[in-house]
Structure 1
Amino acid sequence: MIPVKSTQEQRTDYTRAITEKWDAATSDQKRRGRDWYVKAHELAVEISGGDAKKGAGVLAALSANKSWAENCRLARKAFTEGTASGHVRDALNKANRIMAGEDPSEVLPMHLKTGYFYLCIADPENTESVVIDRHAHDIAVRTVYGQRDRGLGALGRYTLLADCYRAAAKEIGEIPSKVQAVTWVAHIERAA
């Protein structure tokens, strides 16, 4: 696990790894990454009958440890059937509370991945929010951890990596969520 408190040299290295992944992305990966949260937002509006916040909240609530395709299937099914299923109890409870009308920002852990995922889907042009998932972590540390624990539940570690994505975004001249999405696309397609 990377240290929660890092040196400036480590932070610089994480930021450099992110910018290098951005630079290595193809023009098609950059286009798709830049559009990723816009398309997720459109899906959130569609599945929720026009309520972007509700749709984004349910997508975020059901996102943990699921592929994007499975996440979308579960969220669409939840809205169609009126109740969430196919996930762990905590995720289902959160999704159901959001569908019942609770504000996603009152239901989701807003200081960690799920909360930031909600914010990025609800507003694809959000200039501060950045999602740090296992892929974002692995990009920054230049190591694929596989099933090993990354410790992203530690607020300090999450914030450290989010700050590195913000620094990379500033260097690139893009918003952090788009840098995260482009590098995510390039990362998951690395072996394809």
Structure 2
Amino acid sequence: MNFLAYYEIIFQCVLILLAFYYVFKREYKVVKSIALIFVFSFLPAVSNALFHINIDTVSVLIYFAILFMAMYLGSALKFYDKYKWWDRIVHFLSGAGFVGFGIAIASLNSGISNWGVTFFGATFSITLHVIWEVLEYISDCLTHGDAQRWQKIHATNNHVSEKAIQPAGLVDTMNDFICCIAGTVSAIIIWLIVL
């Protein structure tokens, strides 16, 4: 077994322990978030087993950090509302991490140059973020939620500067895109140096 396999097992065991803790406390919404993280934690292994997509260790570690930071700390424990920088860090890391997923997919075709593989990784990462923001928008429209901070009255105004002249939802979405692009560009620079 390699380092990543041990890490995945430890990560999933921690999730199981957290789930038992929150079941004992009868906080079932948190258990639901932990269960989703647990299911999504199998994505790298399943993509390798079924489709032979071998994602690099660093990208998988970032992916696990994103799952934990976004779904458990961010949503379940309300870190998105407590810390205005939390959402930006999650989007930066996901921009960087999903480059590795795109590179792994593009690497399946041996006829693509290193530049082409890297370019695909960047566009894959940014495209995932566009899709995510669209899904947030659709979710807000259907459920009258506030994932994009579009409501004028919200429990927190952490995502929007008081001096902003644009609506809160636009500011939140643009901050998400900018952080994603910054993370993607950072990862691409590192990939080009490593290649």
Q: Is the TM-score greater than 0.5? A: no
Higher CA-based Rg = 2
Per the normalisation by structure 2, the TM-score is 0.25
Per chain length, whose mean CA-contact separation is higher, i.e. which structure has more relative contact order (CA < 8 Å, sep 6+)?
1
Question: Which is richer in helix?
Answer: 2
Per the normalisation by structure 1, the TM-score is 0.25
